[in-house]
Structure 1
């Protein structure tokens, strides 16, 4: 079932193949199978949770070390966008404070002088929370997605076998007149 969603080729797939050949891009980075898709999701989420500029470049810098579906990884990075960043980073900050056993800052001022005075009080819990979400949560999502994919394939195979059995039983027992 999951494979069918990703395996559908767009109408211009010949153009995509020509593009890949023109720029000598390895087709492996666009492969749609369980390993490549789940790795793409994991790599994209890993970099997406980290508060840093140019996350897509970080995804591309990962390609020599891990093989994964690059378009899926880049789309996962886009989950952290200007609309989702504030709640996401605040959640990471709160998680970091929880892990460190700290209290959050009170009386926040939106001035540069306040931020420069409290830089360590913000940055340390933020990156501790970031490490938690980038490593632990991404790992959990990777495992869950892998298992869902395998379960989907097993379910699809069972359904195919049942249909085949029904078809074969109808052929072996023709209707009586």
Structure 2
């Protein structure tokens, strides 16, 4: 359903999206809804979303010509790290980095800029080791999961349509046999 709606809107040169794509010479493939483009969009969006840095959406845009993916989906994945989720994400990445590095971690954490400035050296390496884990491993696992679920969905839909055709065929044949 989403794919049909999007195709209707994006291929219509008179639609708002069609006008923007044409005006700025943006390839329509960056908005394509297919397994490859969607799964790549999720991969890239999650990759940049896990990295604690400013301007994550710009990183997505600069990555687009290299990897070719669905840009709106990638940008929406980046927004999984937002002001509400960032503290939990970065803490999880920091704890994971400490685990991988075998470090005890900091105690008596204060949520103040002064405390972070004073302990930045102690936080930086474990945070980015954990970030590397989540941005690479987790985003790739989700990429594989999206691909697999998409393939399963296509197979289920194909199987459902085949069953419907068989049932229609049986209904057409059945009344003749009863006479």
**So what's the TM-score if we normalise by structure 2?**
0.90
Does structure 2 retain, via aligned residues, the 8 Å contact 1:49–1:134? yes
Aligned equivalents of 2:38 and 2:49: distance in 1? Answer: 16
User: Per-residue deviation at 1:5?
Assistant: 3.2
- In the alignment, which residue of structure 2 is the partner of 1:103? 104
- In the alignment, which residue of structure 1 is the partner of 2:58? 57
User: Per-residue deviation at 1:112?
Assistant: 4.3
Which structure features the higher share of helix residues? 2
- In the alignment, which residue of structure 2 is the partner of 1:120? 121
Aligned equivalents of 2:165 and 2:156: distance in 1? Answer: 14
In structure 1, the gaps of 5 or more residues are: none
Does structure 2 retain, via aligned residues, the 8 Å contact 1:96–1:125? yes
- Greater relative contact order: 1 or 2 (C-alpha under 8 angstroms, separation 6 or more)? 1
- In the alignment, which residue of structure 2 is the partner of 1:88? 89
For the pair 1:5 / 2:6, whether they are aligned, the reply is: no
Which secondary structure state, in structure 2, belongs to the residue aligned with residue 144 of structure 1? helix
For the pair 1:147 / 2:148, whether they are aligned, the reply is: yes
Aligned equivalents of 1:63 and 1:39: distance in 2? Answer: 10
Q: Deviations over 1:8-43 (max 9, x none)?
A: 239865221122112211001000000000000110
- In the alignment, which residue of structure 1 is the partner of 2:39? 38
User: Per-residue deviation at 1:119?
Assistant: 1.4
How many aligned positions are there?
Answer: 174
In structure 2, the gaps of 5 or more residues are: none
**So what's the TM-score if we normalise by structure 1?**
0.91
- In the alignment, which residue of structure 1 is the partner of 2:138? 137
RMSD value, Cα: 1.7
Aligned equivalents of 2:3 and 2:87: distance in 1? Answer: 31
Change beyond 3 A, Cα 1:154–1:83: same
Q: Deviations over 1:28-85 (max 9, x none)?
A: 1000000000000110000000000000000001012101000000000011110010
